[in-house]
Structure 1
Amino acid sequence: MPDQTPTPPENTPADRSPAADAPVRTTGRPSDAALGTGLGRVLLLVYGIFALSASARALVQITTHFSEAPLAYLLSAVAGAVYIAATVGLAVGGPRGRQIALISCTIELLGVLIVGTLSITDKVAFPDDTVWSHFGSGYGYVPLILPFIGLWWIHRHRPTKP
């Protein structure tokens, strides 16, 4: 005997997945996916430029006259690595990218505050400038302002709890 169960016509609610009927939750806050959009793209560009410039500066300093100011030149290399990590974190996005960017921006903030202070108070240890010397004065104080903006942006785009 043939099956007598009626089949629903096409495009009826029986064809739709349960997720299609789920309510859309809006919080008024940007999502984590928006980390690299809008101002995030500008932030990504600035971090990329600083990653390139700080790394190139460190490479030149270390290869040409490392013995003159080894601490300063190694700190320039550290700054370059931190900017590279922040750039990658912002570009990747998602939970892992957010974590990388958050850690990088925090290290950057601590670095610029500590190195900035030490470069003013201990001129013997810093005979030559780093990216973070004098709170980034050689770069228009962008290294001082950038981690605050980066941390704010990451915080603003943190995932919402369901």
Structure 2
Amino acid sequence: MLIITAYGIFAVSAFARAFYQITPFPQEDKVQFADAPLALSLSAFAAAVYILATLALARTSATAWRIALAAVLVEMAGVIGVGTWTLVQPSAFEVATVWGFFGRDYGFIPLILPFLGLFWLLRHRPSETVSAED
């Protein structure tokens, strides 16, 4: 339950951040999408990954397990890839992203969470029999 809660919190926070960053409502100190499409698109993608992972982790079917595994692996690749990219080329990121600098703005939890998720998923593999939910 704890892992689902953690993913749910990140799904909500990443979605809220992406929504705020991408909405076209003009605000004095807000970077608009046209000014930072890469960073803002990555924020939206991270939100989608967290939402998908949360929904899949909350289900118990073998299909949901496979979807959760894929989402967690994409998350892991994303946080490592984007984190490295922001270190190598910080000028490409006009605004912060969830995975930027390995999740620095979130206490590096985005870097730790996929490893915890993967550990949990591997410890809770579905049985080999096909269930009625598949």
**Do both share a fold (TM > 0.5)?**
yes
Structure 1 unmatched ranges of 5 or more: 1-40
Q: For the residues of structure 2 that align with 1:88 and 1:138, how far apart are their CA atoms? A: 24
- The partner residue of 1:63 within 23, 31, 41 is 23
Report the CA distance between 1:68 and its aligned residue: 2.2
Give the equivalent residue in structure 2 for 1:51.
11
Q: For the residues of structure 1 that align with 2:126 and 2:47, how far apart are their CA atoms? A: 28
Paired residue total? 122
Normalising by structure 2, report the TM-score.
Answer: 0.87
Percent of aligned positions with the same letter in both sequences?
Answer: 50
Report the CA distance between 1:160 and its aligned residue: 4.7
| Displaced runs of 4 or more, over 4 A | none
Q: What letter is aligned with 2:102? A: F
Give the equivalent residue in structure 2 for 1:107.
74
Q: For the residues of structure 2 that align with 1:113 and 1:80, how far apart are their CA atoms? A: 16
Q: Deviations over 1:99-154 (max 9, x none)?
A: 11100000000000000000111112112110000000100000000000000100
Larger CA Rg, structure 1 vs 2: 1
Q: For the residues of structure 1 that align with 2:14 and 2:119, how far apart are their CA atoms? A: 23
Q: For the residues of structure 2 that align with 1:97 and 1:49, how far apart are their CA atoms? A: 19
Give the equivalent residue in structure 1 for 2:97.
130
Report the CA distance between 1:161 and its aligned residue: 5.2
Q: For the residues of structure 1 that align with 2:52 and 2:127, how far apart are their CA atoms? A: 24
